[in-house]
Structure 1
Amino acid sequence: PRFRGKHELRRYENGMERCIGCMLCEAACPTGAIYVEAEENDPLHPLSPGERHAKVYEVNLLRCIFCGDCEEACPTEAIVLGHDFAMANYNRRDFILTKQELLNPGEP
């Protein structure tokens, strides 16, 4: 698809996060709009199938140029550019998407 909208983090069918905290998306971003902090997975209750998961995942929509490099760099297809284009906000802080907002894109 040609259109690239607001970012989304995807999960597997079993509910586990696809993001393994490799930070390749952060490295691929030409504007530095993505910030990732990785953390080791708890062996008893892993959040992702890898050894690590993203403890903090933020996307700054004010810096993003919606090029799709993060999407291409991700080995697990965790981050995708969705179809949501209505991104008007009153506060600049609302343009920085947190991990919870990215994992649950339809919720307010």
Structure 2
Amino acid sequence: MADKPSKDKEPGLLSKVAGFGVTFGTMFRKIETEQYPEDKRPTQLRFHGRHQLNRHPDGLEKCVGCELCAWACPADAILVEGADNDDANGQRFSPGERYGRVYQINYLRCIFCGLCIEACPTRALTMTNEYELADDNRADLIFTKDQLLAPLQNGMLPAPHPMVDGMEERDYYQGKVTQATPEQEAWAQQREHELAAESAGREDTA
């Protein structure tokens, strides 16, 4: 028969109170309250946030529609449909032979692992520090190409437009193109006038 534990072996009152030391110490500690969303704490430099489709310095898109990002995605969150650039009809969106005609990222599936970034051969897809992606509509969390494209900077023209004269695709990736040239700007203005005339003609015939 096992011996009953003696009273000498039982913990005393001080030992019982010491066990709550962490609890008592936390109770009287000043609580640090984050005033979000008024005050937003900056993220780390390598934070994995919302994706961005980058452009070349003249405005052409870096995405060549290779679909490697979609193949690398473990959550099947990316949809890419590539198409051929058509110089004859003024439909050049990237320096390469192809471009991403359709590009979608489903943020209901995305796990922000960054494997798509590692798979991209042209550095067309990167991740920003933007993390506010909550919404009350599921359809609005499927971002399209227009939402993912980086905003135009100084010296850029919206695609489509021709490449810089005398430059090849590799010249773009070697950093030899710094901004849109006057020839590209003139072409873009001419195309804008033609599209406006076509639109006015359709309205007159309607």
Q: TM-score range by the shorter chain?
A: over 0.9
How many positions carry a matched residue from both structures? 105
- Partner of 1:4 in structure 2? 48
Aligned: 1:32 with 2:76: yes
Alignment of 1:93-108 (within 5 A): 93-104=139-150
Contact 2:77-2:107 at 8 Å conserved across structures: yes
Alignment of 1:25-104 (within 5 A): 25-44=69-88, 45=90, 46-104=92-150
* Rounded Cα–Cα distance in structure 2 between residues aligned with 1:23 and 1:3: 24
Give the residue type in structure 1 aligned to 2:58: N
Deviations 1:47-100 (A, max 9, x none): 001111111000001100101011000011001111101111110011100000
Q: Highest Rg: 1 or 2?
A: 2
- Root-mean-square deviation over aligned CA pairs: 1.2
- Partner of 2:58 in structure 1? 14
Give the residue type in structure 2 aligned to 1:38: G
SS of the residue 1:53 aligns to? strand
Identity, % of aligned positions: 51
5+ long unaligned stretches in structure 1: none
After the TM superposition, list the runs of 4 or more consecutive aligned residues in structure 1 that deviate by more than 4 angstroms: none
In terms of fraction of residues, the more strand-rich structure is 1
* Rounded Cα–Cα distance in structure 1 between residues aligned with 2:150 and 2:121: 21
Which has the higher relative contact order, 1 or 2, with Cα contacts under 8 A spaced 6 or more apart?
1
**Alpha-carbon offset, residue 2 of structure 1:** 3.4
